[in-house]
Structures are given as structure tokens and as C-alpha cells.
A and B are shown apart, each in its own frame.
Chain A
Amino acid sequence: MLGIMLQKLWQKKWMNLSLLLGCILFVATAVSFPLYQKTAYDRMLQDEFTKYLREKGRWPMVLWMNATCVNDKKDTIGKLERYSGEICSQLGLPEYRAIRSYYLLKSPVRSEFARDDAEYLTLCLGAMTDLTDHAQMIAGHAYSGDGRAEDGVIEVIVPETTLVKRGLLLDETLTFEKLKTADGKPVRIRISGVFTDGNPEECYFQEDPEQMWDRCFMEPELFASLFTGENATRYSIYASLYNLPDYRAVTADKIGHINEVTAWMCQESPYRSVLEDPNYQTILEGYAVKQLRISQALTILQIPVLVLLVAFLLMISGQMYEMERNEISVIKSRGSYRGQILLLYLYQGLFLSGLGGLIGVPLAIFFARLLSATRDFLEFNPSSSLRVQYTPQTGLYALLAMSVTLCAISVPAIRHSKVSIVSLKQSRAVSKKPLWQKLFLDILLLGIALYGYYTFQKRMRDISETVLSGESLDPLLYVSSSLFIVGAGLLFLRLQPLVVRLIHLCVQRFLGPAGYISFMENTRNGRKMQLIMLFLVMTVSLGMFHATVARTILENALENTDYLDGADAIIYENWPMMQDENGTPTGVYLEPDSVKYLSMDFASSHTRVVYDDRAYIKKSRNARTMLTVMAIHTKEFGGLTDLPAGINEKSYHTYLNELASTEGGLLLSRNFATMQDIKIGDTVDFHTGNDKTLSGTVVDFVDYFPAYRPVTTTINPDGNAVSTDNFLIVMNYSDLRKKLGVQPYENWIALREGTSPDMLYNFIEGNRMTVRKYVNKAQNMEHTLTDPLLQGTNGVLTMGFVVTLLLCAVGYLIYWILSIRERELIFGVLRAWGFHKGEIVRMLLMEQLFSGVFSVLAGIGIGRLSSAMFVPLLQASYATSDQVLPMKLITRASDLYRLYGIVAAVMFVCICTLIFLVFHMNVTKALKLGEE
């Protein structure tokens, strides 16, 4: 049996190679997506952690236990230390750092110097592990190894703030009168050094040293021996223990365990009363919402590709059974059992899917790596690819995928093994309508898809809100587009013969024998071509649809980032307020040096923008409507900002010109004008954030303005998305300055091409600027590009597109080669009758026209239609709370040309192969073949 199977494989090697290709691609695709998802989740998780670190400047995973122990008879500190020692391993994570700090209660000190404030001077004596390794001494020196000076006085170091606020001096010796050592002597300390946070990136200090304004730190071991050790004097001690698990070791699959252990620690563990709520819980919750979205979106996007792969396998195996029907019927007539035939095909299926799995799994790793390196639709950046590893699930997915391929190859044998010579001849005599046509599957699928389309179109806003609130979406939303494409493809198959017949009616008078035959072949035997035609339609339309989805989602996200950032870079420095002699704020701001902005050689231009988001108008005596006031220098502002065309009624620069030409003019956001019923020419009074009154004349209304967010969507405590309108007033900078003098302004900067973020950083650091707001558009764009959801979407769509094209090329070629081989006898007969080779080629070309070209055209039409209908729905499901601009359907011509080019190349190769086969056909051999 095995021998027969191998012989069978060899005899039809091309067909079996195609089947093998299908198996490999199916396994690779099916396995690569979950592999990539795991990698993407890990990356996304790390992104969430680093975002927290960047924005809050705190380590993203902190477990903080603290307790005040009076006399500590119960060894509370010892217990805390033991808990602290095991807490990270319970989470299954390595420890990045553990910081243990202990403080005695604040206690009065007496200085050796005569001081005015001696009466009130209190300090808090404590110790912190590894302090001297992380503190940067800015004056004096760290405490010595044993923690005492030569004269036995305890050395302490203090934060700069303690020194300043308490008015202490370096080397000052102080005595805690109420604190006694074991021998009954008061504790004496000497300030040996002053420190600041040496390296904030190390995240050593869990409390800002700036806030430790009454603390002084001594050597931890000395502290222990004096106050917590066995023979120590017992005082009330406040212990604060921080454990920092290494977040970099957190992977998606560990989250379940981490959540479980955390819940146990907070609710049931013995140290629940001393453990504060861990900060990483909110990070993990945010991650869970995103993870759900990615998994939903990617799963649904990959389904059409997998379906197409199964269709490919079925198509090729269908061809195989079609070709082997004769053999099967002959073998059966000679007395073989049906079981033997089934076994033969089972062996073949096992061989092919097994080999497919062996090659497919390593290929899946490669695919997953490629997915993670996607930068754009159909663009990869290999250097950014992630490490993808096998997981225990890999094997499971591979097995599942292999069983699907096995079924696709071997299960049709059940039906085909029933064939006997008699039933074969009978079945050839009767031409039946395909089952799907009788069941009106095309109409049914289109019906469901259109139902989905209309339902979701009505609830488009709900979709975004559902997504934002982290709920899962109705799968019909995603499936509708695929159902539409398949339904429309089937409808095309139903209509195509009618169209061909119509053309035949019109041109039959002009047809030569070749044209006649191809028309007849197409109308009578067209059914054989249906699968390949459906395949072609789906390839082209899915390709177009995927290209549009990918482009639309990506470009909209980028355009949105571009819009919200406003300019290439924005720097808003800290403006200190001037104080009078008594230290009372005067309300006048001190302008930071503005000359440095003139020396930015990386900038092509810059402008001042007053951006006050605490402005308001009074609704009544006690009620205010908050709004944002932007004061701009119109010419400069217009030179370095822009808006996408068509989002406002007039062009962007028209509004700026209107504003510039009217002294005291105001541009209002339309939602504000509508709410307040304001018309052009009305005067509007409003107040700045520091309660200064301004007024102006309305010159026009805008829907969008650089960096203006008309609506903010937030999630309320019930988990529902809530939208709030934001209002904007834009005025001339000169008007504001005239009325209020210099107000704190932001510097909006247009960068020259090739400016790196480092140049900006260097500029900020070099000028020792204290920055309150910093925007770098290029960095934000990059962040958008590498967002796991967008990247994953691009990756899956690109991969799907490439796989689809590959299948289409192979499938189409195989179909035609087999079709020619099958009809070799007929071609031989025609050639014997005197049919020219050219006529046979012409005949095949016309058949290609009816099947191939028509299908490609139908695919383009269906692709365009489905994109226009379903991409906006899908895009809504990608909504983020940051999405401000109206969604635009974006198709890039180059994507489509690439698609057309590849399809055209496939058809060209196919035609060349056909011509080659026809010209190398041996007529007498073909006739002989018929006799056998």
C-alpha cells in the first residue's frame, strides 16, 4: 500500500507539491499568528510598563509594605523583612531591587551651635539600605564604613532639602535628647554629607528626596544594632520596605499567575494589612483591555486567509480526485475494497500534512518574526523583528492545523471512493447545478452581510464606545466583510455564464472555430472553472480590502497623531512667577530666556503660542464653562502648522487670514458657537486661567484646529464611554499681549529634515531648561507605527496578502496546466483536423479571458465595494480615545498597482506556460494517449 502511495505521489508530483505547499502555508499561517500574538502581547505589556516609567518616573512594579512598630516585641520588622525576602519569588519574578528604610519618630535635636530656632528643630533619624550606592553626594562625604566619625559621633547624610529647609550646616553636630543608646547616652549625629538623587533612571528613591525635608540617614547596620537589634534600645520604628520585581521579566503568559498571587497577597496573605495596593494593577488592567482588542481584531482578520488556504487545498485535492476518478473506478471494478482506497488516500493525506507540519512549524517562526518586523502595509524592517520562541501551544496549534489539512486532502475520498465505472459514466452524462446555486448560498451570504452592514452602520458611534470601554464586539462586524466578499464572488459565478452567453450572442457571427469552441467550452463546461474563478475573485477582492483596511487604519492613526501634536516639536518651559519682597506671588511671570530659540540650527522656524486650557466663560455667578484659549501669531503659526484638506468648511489658511485681518478677532470652535448660540460679528467675553478678562469679535467658526480635540471620550466608573465637548477660542497673540502683557507661551517649532530627538534633548539640556510640556511629533509618529495593534494588523494583513497571492499564483497555474493535460486528447484531435497551434492558443486565451480576466475585474469591483462599505466599520473598531479627526477611507494607488502587477504577472506566466505546452504538444502522441 505504501509503495502504491509513493508511486502515486511521484506520478502526480506537481499536484502533490501544490498540496504540500498548501499544507505548509496553512500550518505556517495558523501557527504564526498565535506565536506572533504572544510576542506582540509581550511587547505591548513592556510598552505599557515603560510608558508608566516614562510618564510617572516611577518603577512600574512596586510592592510596598510599611508598618509602625511600637517597641517591636512581636518582631514585626523581622517578619516584614522575611515577607519582603520572598515576595518577588511568589510572583515568579526576579527582584530588580529591594529598598528597606527604617525611621525613628521625629524627635527634637539640639545643635552644638547656638541657633535661633533651636527650640523647634526636629529631625527624623533613619537608615536606608544601599543609600550611598545611589545617592549623589553634592557636599561632604558619605558616612564611613562603621557609620561613626573618629570621635564616635554617628555620621549622617541628609537630602539637600533637609539642609536648606532646616537651615543645617555641613559638619554640624546635633544631639537627640530623647533618643538614648543602650548605654543611656543621648544619640549624637554629625552631618557628614548632603545628597540628591544621583540617577533617577535607577528608580532607587521611592520617595522624592526633595520631599524628605526632615530626614537624616545613618549607616543601616549601625541603625539596626542601635535600634532594632537584640540589645537595642526599643523605640517606635516606622519600617517602609519596597520590593521592585523586575517588570522586564513579565510576559503575557505570566499575567494570570501575577494577578492571582497579587489578589491573594492583598486579600488573604498574612501581610495583607501592611501591603499597599500594588501600582502595577492598573497597568495590567489597561493591558487586558488592549489585549482583548488585539486578539479579537487579529483573530478575525486571519480567518479569511485560513479559509482561503483550506479552499486552495480543497480545490487541488478536488482536481486530484477528478483526475483519479477513472483509476478509482477501475480499481474498484477489479475488486478492491472501498476501505483500501480510503486507506490509500489517508496515507497520502498523512504524508503530505505530516511533511507540511515539519516544514510549516519552522516557517511559522519565520512568519511570526516577519510579522513583528512589519512597519507598514507590505513593508518590513528586519532589524526591528522580535525574538519569537516556541511555546507548548505551538505543538498544539501545529497538530490542529495538520489535522485540518489532513481532512481537506483525505475526507473527499469518502465520496469519491463510492464511484464505480457505471456510476462514473452516468455522472458524466448528467450535468447538475452545483449545490450552492440550488441553495442560493450567494444570496443568503450577501443577505447576512448586508444585514450586518446596515445594523452596524446605524450604530457606528456605539462601536467605538464599546471598544473604548473594553467590551468585546459582535463578531458579525468582522465576519460581515468576509461573507460579503464570498457571497458577491458566488453571485459573480452565477452571473458569469449569462454574461458570456450574452457576449456570444452579440459576436457569434464574427467568431472563427477557435472562438466558437472557447465560448461553447465556457458556457457548457464552465462549472469546472468555478472554484479557480472564485479563488481569483477572492484573492483580488481580499487583497484590495486588506490593503485598504491596513492603509486606512494606519494613515488615519498617523494623521491623527500629526493633528493632535500640532507642530514638529513643542517646548513649554516653566515660567516662575515673580514674588514681592515678602515672598507673595505678584501674578507676573518671569519669561525664560527666549534668545536661545533663535540659535536652534535644527529648526526651520518657530512661533510663540499661548495655550491656556483653564480659560472659561461665566454661565452664571457660580457656574463656568471651561474652554481653551490659543493666542497665535497667525503668519508664523500658519507657516509651521497645517490641517488636512476638507475637514473644515473653508481652507485652513482662510481662517488664519480672517483672524489676522481683524483686530480683536476670534475664531470659535463650532460646538462652542452652537452651544452659546453665537453668530459671526458677536462679541464674546471670556476669562483666562488666571482670571483675567478678555473679549473679542467672532470672525468665523472652525471644526478642527491644530492640536484641538473637539470631543474627549472617557470611561466612567460604570465602564461606559462618555463623550465631553471641548471648546476653543483662537485669538491673535498681539491682542493678548496688548491686554495682558507677556503671558507664558509655548514654543512651537518646525524642524528641519533629519533632526533627531537627541538634538532636541541636547538643546533642552544644554540650555538647562525646566520643561513642563514637550512634544516631539516624529517620536509620537514612530510610537504610532509600532503600536502593537496597528503593527499586528498590518502584519496579519500583509502576511495574508502575500499568502493569498502565492496561493493564487500556484493555484491558477496548476489549474491550467492540469486542464491542458486533461484536454490533451481533444487538442490532439483538433490539431489532426488541421487546427493551427495559434488557434489553440487563441482558444485558451479566450478561455482565460472569460475565467481569469472576468474574475479579476469582478474581484476589483467587489474589493472596491466591500472596502467602501466595511472599512469604516472596521476602522471604528480600532478607535482610540485619541481619535479626533473624521475617518477617511484611504487607498494607496501603489498598493493596488502592486496587486494588479502581481496578478498580471501570474496570468502572464500562466499564458506563457500554456503556449509552451501547446507548441510542444505531439499530435500523434496525444492521439495515441486517447487510444489507451
Chain B
Amino acid sequence: MEEMILKTTGVKRAFDTPAGKFWALKGIDIAIPRGVFAILKGRSGSGKTTLMNILNSLDDPTEGEVFFEGRSLRDLSERERENLRRKKMGFVFQSVSLLPSLNALQNVEFSMRMAGIRISGENRGRAEECLKLVGLGNRLTHMSAEMSGGEQQRVAIARAFAHRPGIIFADEPTAELDSAMAAHVTELFKEMTRREGVTILMTTHDVGLMGAADMTIELQDGTQI
């Protein structure tokens, strides 16, 4: 049977508003196999980011359960979840999120440091290799302020997979990029699932990018369609 890296059963999420409870997610059951490039799509306000935050353990569902590599996230302590995010997950955010005091290479190395990987021996070349993979082999020592938005996002992608996580959560990574760059980034994700065997879950509302995905999950008003 195909191994599911991420699985949810009846995930619901409610927020308290002055007008009463607002259900952002109304029962989501999804299963994402390891090594696929999955896209979570839906309009603005459909619940993509809410679901994403629940899947990556930053938030808890009001009802239902999330299983990562077969373990329920509910059973994990705060510290265990943090360690999970450090070691087994990678993140790419919509806004540029490089550490401003580090250069491209150091930014990538930093995710390895966080995952507890020592930057020595065979690991020394890993960060550089990741940057080459995203086409930035010639900009290793550039600071984030010296790079364009697309370049910065590519550094963020390199950083997300440098420590060899099981899954990368990419929340609207192409929203601030032009369409050519967006297509390039999507291609990169695809390439990575192939080369590194990493699972990628990307949210987007850009219909043009759907074709690249191995699987698509669509949300509308908090329900899966």
C-alpha cells in the first residue's frame, strides 16, 4: 500500500467572532502520499492557510485529527511538534522570509543547523548544492537585500529542502512573483520531488500552475470539493 505522509480525518476549525462561531474548515479528510507534489487550491478565504497551519502543527483543529507519518499530532507535546517542524518539515512562505543578517548560503545552512545537522564533512557542500539546484550557484554570498524577490524566494526554497525534510509546506510561494518566475518555481518543486523524494504541499489560487501537480485538493468555503 502506498505510504501516506500526511492524513486528516474530519478536521474542523472554528474561530470565535462577535457574531458567534465561524467555521473556517468544515470537515476535511485528505491523504497525501510520500513524494508527491500536491497543490491545495481555492479562492481567497476558502480555508487554505488555516488547513496548512493545522497540517504543519502550528495550529490545532477544533475537531478531527491529523496524522504525520502515521502519528497523531494531537499526541505530541509543544516541544515534539517544534522538533518535528525543525527536522521533518520545510517551509516556504508567501512573503520573503530570509534572515536579513545572513547571506544566501548561510540562510540555507541555517535550516540544516536547526535540524541538528553539523556543517562539516559531506554536509558542507549540501547547502551549496541546493542553491545550485535553484539556479543561484553564483550568488552564494549575496545578502537578501541584494537579491530580487524571485531570487530570494528561490533561496527560501533551497533552504526548505536543504535539511532533507519529509514534506515542504509552501504557502502561496508564487503570489508575489511574475508568471514566468511562478512557473519556474513550480518546475523547481516538481524537480525536487523527483530528485530528493520530498513531498510538497503548495497552496495557490493560480489556475495556470495546476498542471504540474501530482494531486490537487480544492477547498471552497471550508469544505473539500
CB pair A825–B86 under 8 Å, yes or no, is no
Which residues of B have CB within 8 Å of A930?
Answer: 93-95, 97
CB pair B91–A833 under 8 Å, yes or no, is yes
How far, in Å, is A247 (CB) from chain B's closest CB?
69
Which residues of B have CB within 8 Å of A512?
Answer: 113
Known: A832-B58, A833-B91, A924-B58. A513 touches B110 (CB 8 A): yes
Tell which of B99-107, B129-137, B191-199, B216-224 binds the partner. Answer: B99-107
CB pair B114–A834 under 8 Å, yes or no, is yes
CB pair B145–A517 under 8 Å, yes or no, is no
> By CB atoms of chain B within 10 A, which of A521, A524, A825, A834 has the most?
A834
Segment 27-81 of B: residues with Cβ below 8 Å from A: 53, 56, 58-59, 79, 81
Which residues of B have CB within 8 Å of A923?
Answer: 58
How far, in Å, is A329 (CB) from chain B's closest CB?
15
CB pair A429–B146 under 8 Å, yes or no, is yes
Q: Is B25 an interface residue (CB 8 A)?
A: no
Task: Give CA–CA (A927, B89) in the complex, Å.
Answer: 17
Contact among A521, A836, A931 for B82, CB-based, below 8 A: A836
- Can you list 17 residue pairs at the A/B interface with Cβ under 8 Å? A512-B113, A517-B99, A517-B110, A520-B102, A524-B101, A524-B143, A525-B101, A825-B95, A825-B97, A826-B99, A829-B91, A832-B85, A834-B86, A834-B89, A835-B82, A927-B93, A930-B97
Q: Is A516 an interface residue (CB 8 A)?
A: yes
CB pair B93–A835 under 8 Å, yes or no, is no
Write the chain A residue with the least CB distance to B52: A924
> By CB atoms of chain A within 10 A, which of B94, B111, B114, B146 has the most?
B114
Task: Give CA–CA (A735, B111) in the complex, Å.
Answer: 94
Task: Give CA–CA (A379, B10) in the complex, Å.
Answer: 70
Which residues of B have CB within 8 Å of A825?
Answer: 95, 97
Contact among A520, A829, A834 for B106, CB-based, below 8 A: A520
Interface mask (A792-836 → B, CB under 8 Å = 1, otherwise 0): 000000000000000000000000000000000110010011111
CB pair A833–B100 under 8 Å, yes or no, is no
CB pair B101–A833 under 8 Å, yes or no, is no
Q: Is A619 an interface residue (CB 8 A)?
A: no
Which residues of B have CB within 8 Å of A832?
Answer: 56, 58, 85, 91, 93
Task: Give CA–CA (A785, B101) in the complex, Å.
Answer: 55
Contact among A524, A829, A833, A836 for B79, CB-based, below 8 A: A836
How far, in Å, is B98 (CB) from chain A's closest CB?
9
- Hey, which bits of chain B sit against chain A, CB under 8 A? 53, 56, 58-59, 79, 81-87, 89, 91, 93-95, 97, 99-102, 106, 110-111, 113-114, 143, 145-146, 172
Contact among B93, B101, B145 for A520, CB-based, below 8 A: B101
CB pair B113–A516 under 8 Å, yes or no, is yes
Interface extent on A, as a size class?
A: 20 to 34
Which residues of A have CB within 8 Å of B58?
Answer: 832, 923-924
Task: Give CA–CA (A719, B150) in the complex, Å.
Answer: 80
CB pair A833–B106 under 8 Å, yes or no, is no
Task: Give CA–CA (A232, B108) in the complex, Å.
Answer: 119
Task: Give CA–CA (A517, B114) in the complex, Å.
Answer: 11
Q: Is A428 an interface residue (CB 8 A)?
A: yes
Known: A517-B99, A520-B106, A930-B95. A833 touches B113 (CB 8 A): no
Write the chain A residue with the least CB distance to B89: A834
Task: Give CA–CA (A240, B66) in the complex, Å.
Answer: 113
Contact among B83, B99, B102, B110 for A834, CB-based, below 8 A: B83
Which residues of B have CB within 8 Å of A927?
Answer: 93, 95
Instruction: Name the 10 nearest CB pairs between A and B, nearest first.
Output: A834-B86, A834-B85, A930-B95, A524-B101, A834-B82, A829-B97, A429-B145, A520-B101, A521-B101, A428-B145
